[in-house]
Amino acid sequence: MPAEATARSRAIEHRLHPLSIGFSLGSQLRRAILPLIIGGASANFLGVVEMRFVLLVGLVPLVVGSVVRYLTFRYRYEEAELVIRSGLLFRRERHVPYARIQNLDAVQGVFHRVLGVVEVKLQTGGGQEPEATLTALPVPALVGFGPRVREGKREAAGEAPVAAEVTAAAGMTAAQGVMAAEGVMAGEGVMAGEGAAAGMLAEPSADVAPAGSSEGRTLLHLPARELLLHGLLQNRGMVLIAAAFGLAWETGLFERASDWIAGEQSWIGPAVEGAAADVVAAGILVTVVALAALAVAFVIFARLLSIVWTLVRLHDYRVVRSEEGLRATFGMLTQVAATIPLRRVQTVTIHEGPLQRWAGRVAVGVQTAGGSQAGQPGNADPHRHRLAPILRRERLRDFLREVVPELDAPEVGWEPVSPLAFRRVVRGTCFVATLAAVPLYFGLGAWGVAFHAAFLAWAVFYARRYVACLGWALKDDMVWFRSGWLWRRTTIARYTRIQVVALRASPIDRWRGMASLRVDTAGAGAAAHKVDIPYLPLDTARKLRTLLAAEAARTAFRW
């Protein structure tokens, strides 16, 4: 490349797409609208000011903020890092080295797609939030991202070519890029992500899409049938119903709906009331059957909702293994391309619920060091926690070996926890069972005894199963930990990923000669399953700590 071109491009900074004003305003509005409405309504109620005024006063800063953010936001590609400048009063210049980027997500919602922009999230090892969120990038800019990151090119995308051409070129560069990236450590994750995004964006043109997808092996593809099963097994419907209910309540829709159903002029309310009266009049048996039918209908409705949600959200779910990265692409309305460089994987967790086990399926999640906070709406992170949302049990081994190459087989000989553990657990569960039974004594009198006995039997049984399912193992230079009876989770951490080994003993632990062992790794979110082995015999825990600490000391940690 000519030297003068390089020199010229060093100064060139890029901006976000002007539409980012709209997107950032939209996302801020979503967060601010409820407090504003509530504040406005209460101010209106108290007769201080009119609601319109409150809304206006609340909205102006948001609009100004979004415009200022757009106007001050600049990013540029340096040789080894992405530099982002933002802020008017408090200027901030962030340097994100390409080599430190843990994850790269490209998310395209419906509006993003219609308008031809994409949201890019970069995560580095530190912190919970994405290190940099580029709210709206024009698609051509994203396409230029990967090669630039890889080769440290700093030439500007000043003259933006026609989008279709660029997209086609992106498919090419992504494919070539991966071939070229063998052994190149810096930015391979970014590049794979770029390939994913390019492949995703190129979907409309049939000749480009294969170029994007042929660059890696498909590890997992979920056809509609599997997604249907996943939706059925996973109880997403209740969550959705609860969310919808909450939203309706907050926005006042609920009141209006109840007016509509049970109001003065409504015919629905009386009709329902009449039907209910008829059923009750028909006797207790009919009432019970009708209630049961209602419950079943509700459950079916919730599961149907869950299925639809899954089909839309995870549409065409694919995990592709390219040179060093894993790439998950999915989504019908909001399309997500999430990239995980393989060496960034800290721990792997296998999830098994009772229904999943019955259907012979498991789910596999991975934890990476970047952005460990789960459950943020619109974030691709929850899907990292479920890298394989549903997987046939017999395919688990192959899948795990792709994610953790050192792993031989998911079957290990589990070591039990202390034989005294059952006594400790059963005391706790029996206490809870008794607490739950106390109100029944008041309500049911003598029948309360029967319920109490049943609860206690369940408590003992549950404690027995729970302790039996606790287990740990050392195999293939990894520490394995399993817990949970009905919802069983198995977490695997390689010795090379161990950060800190801590032995902890509570007063009861010491009294019983036990200890728990926590193997801390990077990226273990608050809700994630961690290697935290409870109820170990003290000398076992000590030996294990010594051994694991020595293994950690022996190896080097690479981000």
Partner 1 sequence: MNESTHNFGTPADPAQTAEAAQTADPAQAAQAAEGAGSEDPAAGSIADGARRALDPKVIPLQRTIGAIVTACVSLPLAVAVGLLWAAAGPPPGVVAGLVSVWAVVTGGLGWWLYRWPVLHHRHASYAVHPDGIEIRKGVIWRQAISVARSRVQHTDVSQGPLERKYGLGTLGVYTAGTDHAKVSLDGLEHETALRIRDHLLPPAGDDAV
Binding mask 48-87 for partner 1 (x = CB under 8 A): ----------------------------------------
Give residue 134's identity as a one-letter amino acid code.
Answer: L
8's CB contacts (< 8 A; 6+ apart) are 156
- Using CB under 8 A as the binding criterion, the count of chain residues that bind partner 1 stands at 42
- The conformation of residue 14, written as its DSSP 8-state character, comes to B
Binding mask 143-172 for partner 1 (x = CB under 8 A): ------------------------------
Binding of partner 1 by 554 (CB under 8 A): yes
Q: Which segment (36-44, 62-70, 165-173, 542-550) binds partner 1 by CB under 8 A?
A: 542-550
One of 309, 414, 451, 559 touching partner 1 (CB under 8 A)? 559
One of 7, 56, 502, 527 touching partner 1 (CB under 8 A)? 502
Contacts of 307-314 with CB under 8 Å at 24 or more apart are: 307/227, 307/228, 307/231, 307/232, 308/231, 309/231, 309/236, 309/237, 309/240, 310/227, 310/228, 310/230, 310/231, 310/234, 310/236, 311/224, 311/227, 311/228, 311/231, 314/222, 314/227, 314/230, 314/389
State the nearest-atom distance from the C-beta of 515 to partner 1, in Å. 8
The gap from C-alpha 439 to its chain's centroid, in whole angstroms, comes to 39
Binding of partner 1 by 511 (CB under 8 A): no
Binding of partner 1 by 524 (CB under 8 A): yes
Q: Which segment (63-71, 252-260, 270-278, 503-511) binds partner 1 by CB under 8 A?
A: 503-511
Binding of partner 1 by 501 (CB under 8 A): yes
The gap from C-alpha 545 to its chain's centroid, in whole angstroms, comes to 31
Exposed, middle or buried by CB within 10 Å (0-12, 13-18, 19+), for 452? middle
Of the pair 72, 496, the CB lying nearest partner 1 is at 496
Binding of partner 1 by 506 (CB under 8 A): yes
Binding of partner 1 by 527 (CB under 8 A): no
The number of beta carbons lying within 10 Å of the beta carbon of residue 399 is 22
One of 146, 383, 521, 536 touching partner 1 (CB under 8 A)? 521
Which tokens sit at 83?
């530099």
State the nearest-atom distance from the C-beta of 409 to partner 1, in Å. 18
Q: Three-class SS of residue 446? A: coil
State the nearest-atom distance from the C-beta of 526 to partner 1, in Å. 8
Binding of partner 1 by 503 (CB under 8 A): yes
Of the pair 55, 474, the CB lying nearest partner 1 is at 474
One of 510, 511, 527, 539 touching partner 1 (CB under 8 A)? 510
451's CB contacts (< 8 A; 6+ apart) are 437, 440, 444
One of 219, 498, 533, 536 touching partner 1 (CB under 8 A)? 498
One of 471, 523, 534, 537 touching partner 1 (CB under 8 A)? 523
What count of Cα atoms within 13 Å lies in the side-chain half-sphere of residue 92? 10
State the nearest-atom distance from the C-beta of 224 to partner 1, in Å. 37
Of the pair 376, 506, the CB lying nearest partner 1 is at 506
Exposed, middle or buried by CB within 10 Å (0-12, 13-18, 19+), for 475? middle
Give residue 342's identity as a one-letter amino acid code.
Answer: L
One of 153, 392, 452, 518 touching partner 1 (CB under 8 A)? 518
One of 91, 92, 225, 558 touching partner 1 (CB under 8 A)? 558
Q: What is the DSSP string of 217-252?
A: EEEEEE-HHHHHHHHHHS-HHHHHHHHHHHHHHHHT
Q: Three-class SS of residue 409? A: coil
Q: Using CA atoms, how far apart are residues 156 and 339, in angstroms rounded to an integer?
A: 25
One of 22, 125, 269, 416 touching partner 1 (CB under 8 A)? 125
H-helix segments, 314-373: 354-358
State the nearest-atom distance from the C-beta of 417 to partner 1, in Å. 15
Q: What is the DSSP string of 274-307?
A: HHHHHHHHT-HHHHHHHHHHHHHHHHHHHHHHHH
Binding of partner 1 by 100 (CB under 8 A): yes
Of the pair 402, 532, the CB lying nearest partner 1 is at 532
Element (H, E) at 209: helix 209-213
State the nearest-atom distance from the C-beta of 514 to partner 1, in Å. 12
Binding of partner 1 by 225 (CB under 8 A): no
State the nearest-atom distance from the C-beta of 420 to partner 1, in Å. 18
State the nearest-atom distance from the C-beta of 385 to partner 1, in Å. 14
What residues from 425 to 484 belong to the interface with partner 1 (CB under 8 A)?
A: 474
Binding of partner 1 by 553 (CB under 8 A): yes
What count of Cα atoms within 13 Å lies in the side-chain half-sphere of residue 86? 17
Strands 361-368 and 531-537: unpaired
Q: Using CA atoms, how far apart are residues 257 and 255, in angstroms rounded to an integer?
A: 5
What residues from 477 to 496 belong to the interface with partner 1 (CB under 8 A)?
A: none
State the nearest-atom distance from the C-beta of 179 to partner 1, in Å. 24
The gap from C-alpha 71 to its chain's centroid, in whole angstroms, comes to 32
One of 504, 511, 527, 539 touching partner 1 (CB under 8 A)? 504
Binding mask 364-403 for partner 1 (x = CB under 8 A): -----x--x-------------------------------
Maximal CA-CA distance, the chain: 92
Q: Which residues bind partner 1 (CB under 8 A)?
A: 99-100, 125, 369, 372, 474, 498-507, 510, 518, 520-525, 530, 543-559
